[in-house]
Chains A and B, each alone.
Chain A
Amino acid sequence: MSCDLTQRFVPGYMDGELDLVRTIEMETHLKDCHACAQELEDQQGVRALLRRSSLAYAAPAVLRDRIESSLRASAKADMEVRESGIQWRSVHVWRWAGAIAVLVLFSLSGWQFTARLREPSTDQRIAAEVFASHLRSLEANHLMDVVSTDQHTVKPWFDAKLDFSPPVEDLASNGFPLVGGRLDYLEGREIAALIYQRRNHFINVFVWPDSNETNSIQSVKSRQGYSIMRWSRDGFQCWAVSDLGGSELAGFVRLLENYNSSEPN
């Protein structure tokens, strides 16, 4: 073993992280080589110093309390978001009345009507989650996990963390620069959140695979001064949310759509 190599393995040796063969090679080398033995001694000295100085900080009790109470609050907030999607399931009194009404309507209007009845409620629930997630990302000071304006940085970052590979495009030349990405949680799964900027407004774009979806685009909805838009493309379900005006957000989504279709992904 050369000194060059030995010096590289000194930390692993002293921390007991080398395999047996390497360990024996190291021991043989250290017996004969003063420089490497010195390096080992130096590193051991620093390690001992760090350990005996007891430098670790313990979490203050007040922090522990704060976290426990905010966990309770957070669990409650999540429940409220979910409730917006299950309102009429939770109202027991109306359950039977609802079932009867659906039966009557079903017999009157056939499949098409129930299909229409079911779909908006899923969308409404997701819209509520998308909206809550957007607010949370801004409020909790946690917009981004990976900060980069380079789609070639953001995409591999997602690829390493998710079981799917979301399309990532930069629209800087159109005035909507990509500023970063974040892992988020929607519909019971991990999803990609892409963050774009328009002047000083942020746009969250949520993306996850959905093989049932056919390519489509829906009109902008607004909610408490925020615009929300949903579309499907190439097996992905996508949602955009921002405090931008509805027409501006729609323009952004169209840009993203066109980009997707011109770039093979």
Chain B
Amino acid sequence: MSDTARRERFEQTVLPHLDAAYNLARWLTRNEQDAQDVTQEACLRAFRFFDRYQGGSARAWLLTILRNTCYTWLHKNRQSDSTELFDEEIHNPELSGGADPEVQALAAADKETVNRALEELPDVFREALVLREMEGMSYREIADVTAVSLGTVMSRLARGRTRLRQSLTAELSRGY
């Protein structure tokens, strides 16, 4: 394949998923400029490794590279920011039977509040929720991108949703 053909194929196959890549980078770095830098770097890496892409979901493939790039970047540039590593087996979700008023309170949450609450979640929960709720990815795809088992994907989603609900409830009862 000539260099031009290779680049054009890359642009047609992979670049349509640029929004998905930027979205994940934006949620992981929580900063616009950093997200742009990381996304650009990830796209260039993907281009260099493009020969290795064997069909299948180009989006999942790009997001896997993006995510690795992102965590490397975060590790290097935000050493003070202790990346919270969670062991789901230890931090078992407590079975908190939420009360109905909570659910109603949630409905009142505006976009900014939800945004802030999601940003404050630990990385592993945030990325699972972003991939599931914004990108609509299957558990299998999320498992591939984040390099964990299906069971872990499921428990991260559950734990992430529970935590998000708790922090929103707390926020709403405090602020309004």
CB distance from B146 to the nearest CB of A (A): 14
A9-29 interface mask toward B, CB cutoff 8 Å, 1 = contact, 0 = none?
111100101000000000000
- A34-42, A86-94, A236-244: which one contacts chain B? A34-42
Instruction: Give the secondary structure class of A's interface.
Output: helix
Which residues of the partner chain B approach A56 to less than 8 Å between Cβ atoms? 19, 23, 134-135
Q: Is the CB of A59 within 8 A of B19?
A: yes
Which residues of the partner chain B approach A47 to less than 8 Å between Cβ atoms? 133, 161
Q: Is the CB of A72 within 8 A of B7?
A: yes
Q: In the assembly, what is the distance between CA of A142 and CA of B70, in Å? A: 10
Q: Which of B19, B27, B44, B115 contacts A70 (CB under 8 A)?
A: B44
Chain A, interface size category, equals: 35 or more
Chain B, interface size category, equals: 35 or more
Is A66 on the interface with B (CB-CB < 8 A)? yes
Interface residues of A (CB under 8 A from B): 3-4, 7-12, 15, 17, 35, 38-39, 41-43, 45-47, 49-51, 53-60, 63-64, 66-68, 70-72, 74-76, 78-79, 140-142, 144-145, 147, 183, 185, 188, 190
Interface residues of B (CB under 8 A from A): 3-4, 6-7, 10-11, 15, 18-19, 21-23, 26-27, 35-36, 39-41, 43-45, 47-49, 51-52, 68-69, 72-73, 75-76, 93, 95, 97-98, 102-103, 106-107, 109, 111, 114-115, 118, 129, 132-135, 138-139, 150, 154-155, 157-158, 161-162, 164-165, 168
